[in-house]
Amino acid sequence: MIEAFGLTSNPRKELPPAVDDVSFEARAGRVTALLGAPGAGKTTALRLMLELQRGRGLTHFRGRPLHRIAHPVREVGVLLGDVPGHPARTVRGHLRMLCAAAGVPVRRADEVLEAVGLVSLRDEGLGTLSRGMDRRLGLACALLADPHTLVLDDPAGALSAREAGWVHTMLRAHASQGGTVLFSTADPKEAARTADHVVTLEQGRVVADQEAPDFSRTRLRPRVVVRTPYAARLATVLTKEARAARRSVEIVREGGNRLAVYGGTCADIGDTAFRHGILVHQLADEYGDMGPGAGVLPVVSRPGSTHGRGADTGSVPRSRDGGLPEPVDASGPAAVRPATAGAPPVTDADAPSPHTHTHPLTHTDTDTLTDPDPDPDPDPDPDPAPGADTVTHADAVPPTSAAADLSPAASQHSPAPAASQPPPAPGRPVRPASARTLATGAASPLPPPVSVRSAPSPLRPLRYEFRRAAGIRTGFVTIAVVLLVSVVTAVVLARVGHTPQPRLLAAWPQELPLPPAALGAGLLGALASGDEFRHPALAADRGAVPRRLGLLVAKLLVSAVTALVLAALTVGGNAEVLRLFYGPELAGVPADWPALGAGWLALVVGCGWAGVLAAGVFRSTTAGLAAVVAVPVLVVPLVQKVWDGPSVRTAAGLPMRTRELFLTTWPFGGERYVAEVLRMIAQPVGSALALSVTALLCAYLLMTLRSRPQ
């Protein structure tokens, strides 16, 4: 259950807040729609609920705010906009990476891929997916940790009718197992057709909080749906009679043999068809304009209702006064006839809910339904092209309704579970693995429940970071380019001469502030944090990037390992190429190789860490790489001035004085390595790098503390 109390966004300069004092409830086992025109504040309200935007108010998810939930990703599944992932990452790789973030087994990725029908596209890049496939992947990401609550922002926007029906069927299946579903939409007919409860926003305020039947009755326009092979002829006759009687009637031709009549009644239209000998195959009351094909959503279980043989009359929509419409017979002209005398009475248990619809061609045992669609239209009158909506207005005053500013919407499709199935107990749902019928007619089950141990934090940072770094080719391409540039630079420097051997092995010209390997390590470190802001895969958890120390440590460890590998490959590759071109003289091992090697590794690792921290602080890969370059260009001269100043004692004898501090000798000559490390730190480059990394780390930790909710 979701409870929102007084959600209010921060004011925007002199403009009113986008959301002002929004309060509503979304109950478990039901689908709740947050309805509003574009700009009404739906997305802002969802972001305030998920603590992704600063503002006032409070939202409880099953009695707790999101920042008080130990594992928020297991409580709330979120889809806001497109799937936030690197376009070059594969569908399966993206889900496997999120499995580590959610703390679920990696096999869960294949389970949700099968549930949403993306098994055949698991090796495709995210950037190649269509809109419909992106929605399916977004729903897979939301269902990955088997959450109790789903919060989705316009999940069926810009989708075809088939894809939209599939999305809403999956949401209905989740709610039928005891989960809570909240989605936003700008389409009133989508809200009326697919939701149990509708909360309407207008200019950032709640203007209506209604059950779906009440919403359809009070906010949408009633109409009569007619199916006849003589649609054009019937529309002409109804228009003439409305003009003669000076009544307001609007007739919409919805393609094929279907008409929608606004301002008329079933009785009037049936009488007109009888007098003119027009064959009628369907005549029923509806609320809102469903459009062609809108009644094809399948029946999916819902707690609290009954479903059985006697409930098959759910394909008969109720009239506006709550009763069943008159039956229609296609046995001859003037097709309207009274109900069969021997027909069994319809009880309250058998009757459908006021906002229930199924496909109008469905048959039942009660002889009160319509006959199947006839052969193609034999009407000699010219008809518009199939699928085109033709609107005919009688020459009278246009009809008015309670929701004139809203487009017509459909009555809700209300599925029902078996009568013998008890409603699920409150709490975490236990979903059976049995197949459920989707809009496409294929059997596709929800993902099975996840069984994981409770842990202090579900994030497995090292697994996540390794999968994030290895899931795209950027890192491998960067390493290859760095090695190639280093080899070419080393060969050119050896050809020119006047370069010391250690700098030849590192491919570090005197004119460059940093060698290629250090720049490459800094770029890889900057990408580790920068990609989290460009493609925030963890945005659904908390904030653009969750500032957790475990994730930071994982990034530092992975960047350090990558920098060490890059440094070793660079020196080894340069030595082999120099040996091949110029003989063993230039590829020999220097005499003081321990100190040089330690300094070389420290430089590369320090650049990688500076890139990670700077990109995390400034939220940009470019800023992270710029901070790495700024160390030798800007920080080193400042450190040199400090060291050379008269008020600073020289550090020339620092290693010897440090050795004198040790009263005992360390095993294996440990004091010698400590002295070498101190000597490197005492150098301007080492001091500048250590100072920069320390400052960036402090800034990152400060931002972490400030971003934590109170």
Convert the pLDDT of each residue in 189-213 to its tens digit.
899 889 999 999 999 999 999 999 8
- The residue range of the domain holding 367 is 220-307+318-393
pLDDT in tens, 683-704: 566 667 787 888 888 888 877 6
Higher pLDDT, residue 286 or 130: 130
Tell me which range, 235-244, 312-321, 443-452, 632-641, is most confidently predicted by mean pLDDT. Answer: 235-244
pLDDT in tens, 381-390: 444 444 444 4
Q: For position 176, which CATH number holds?
A: 3.40.50.300
Helix and strand totals (H; E) in the chain: 21, 14
CA-CA-CA-CA dihedral for 278, 282, 286, 289, to nearest 10: -80
pLDDT in tens, 56-98: 999 999 999 988 887 888 899 999 888 888 999 999 999 999 9
pTM: 0.68
Other beta carbons less than 10 A from residue 110's beta carbon = 15
The fraction of the chain above a pLDDT of 90, given in percent, is 37
pLDDT in tens, 92-127: 999 999 998 888 889 999 999 999 999 999 999 999
Q: What is the mean pLDDT of residues 30-45?
A: 94
pLDDT of residue 25: 95
The answer on 210 and 225 residing in a single domain is no
Under a CB-based contact definition with an 8 Å cutoff, are residues 310 and 349 in contact?
A: yes
Higher pLDDT, residue 218 or 346: 218
Six token digits for residue 609? 């860490």
Q: Is residue 556 part of a domain?
A: yes
pLDDT of residue 296: 37
Handedness of CA 642, 643, 645, 651 (dihedral sign): positive
Residue 525: closest CA among 502, 491, 483, 554: 554
Confidence of residue 634 (pLDDT cuts 50, 70, 90): confident
The answer on 679 and 532 residing in a single domain is yes
Neighbour-count burial of 441, counting CB atoms closer than 10 A to its CB (0-12 exposed, 13-18 middle, 19+ buried): exposed
The answer on 520 and 371 residing in a single domain is no
Residue 565 has pLDDT above 90, yes or no: yes
Lowest mean pLDDT among 65-79, 178-192, 229-243, 383-397: 383-397
The answer on 377 and 293 residing in a single domain is yes
Q: Is residue 441 part of a domain?
A: no
The answer on 248 and 144 residing in a single domain is no
Q: Is residue 550 part of a domain?
A: yes
Higher pLDDT, residue 220 or 237: 237
Q: Is residue 33 part of a domain?
A: yes
CA distances, 382 to each of 94, 277, 281, 390, 393 (Å): 53, 19, 20, 13, 19
DSSP strand E in 462-553: where?
A: none
The answer on 129 and 19 residing in a single domain is yes
Residue 368 has pLDDT above 60, yes or no: no
| Gap between the Cα atoms of 33 and 199, Å rounded | 6
Question: How many structural domains comprise the chain?
Answer: 3
Confidence of residue 550 (pLDDT cuts 50, 70, 90): confident
Residue 343 has pLDDT above 50, yes or no: no
pLDDT in tens, 666-682: 555 555 555 655 555 55
The answer on 113 and 78 residing in a single domain is yes
Where is the domain boundary, 217, 250, 265? 217
pLDDT of residue 175: 94
Six token digits for residue 314? 């759910």
Q: What is the 3-state secondary structure (H, E, C) of 274-322?
A: HHCCCCCCEEEEEECCCCCCHHHCCCCCCCCCCCCHHHHHHHCCCCCCC
The answer on 275 and 198 residing in a single domain is no
pLDDT of residue 15: 83
The fraction of the chain above a pLDDT of 70, given in percent, is 67
pLDDT of residue 316: 31
pLDDT in tens, 571-597: 999 999 998 888 888 877 877 787 788
Strand, coil or helix: 259? strand
pLDDT in tens, 454-471: 444 555 788 899 999 999
Q: Is residue 636 part of a domain?
A: yes
> Considering the chain, what is the average pLDDT of its residues?
74
197-202 vs 250-253, strand pairing mode: unpaired
pLDDT of residue 179: 94
pLDDT of residue 200: 94
Higher pLDDT, residue 319 or 220: 220
pLDDT of residue 69: 86
**Which residues are within 8 A (CB) of 276 and not within 5 positions of it... i.e. 6 or more apart?**
233, 234, 237
Six token digits for residue 376? 């193609």
Residue 355 has pLDDT above 50, yes or no: no
Residue 41: closest CA among 63, 58, 16: 16
Where is the domain boundary, 344, 360, 393? 393
Strand, coil or helix: 169? helix
Where is the domain boundary, 193, 217, 241? 217
Higher pLDDT, residue 664 or 501: 501
The answer on 613 and 660 residing in a single domain is yes
The answer on 536 and 596 residing in a single domain is yes
Six token digits for residue 63? 């009695």
The answer on 475 and 353 residing in a single domain is no
Q: Is residue 133 part of a domain?
A: yes
Q: Is residue 501 part of a domain?
A: yes
Q: Is residue 62 part of a domain?
A: yes
Q: What is the mean pLDDT of residues 419-434?
A: 38
The answer on 233 and 192 residing in a single domain is no
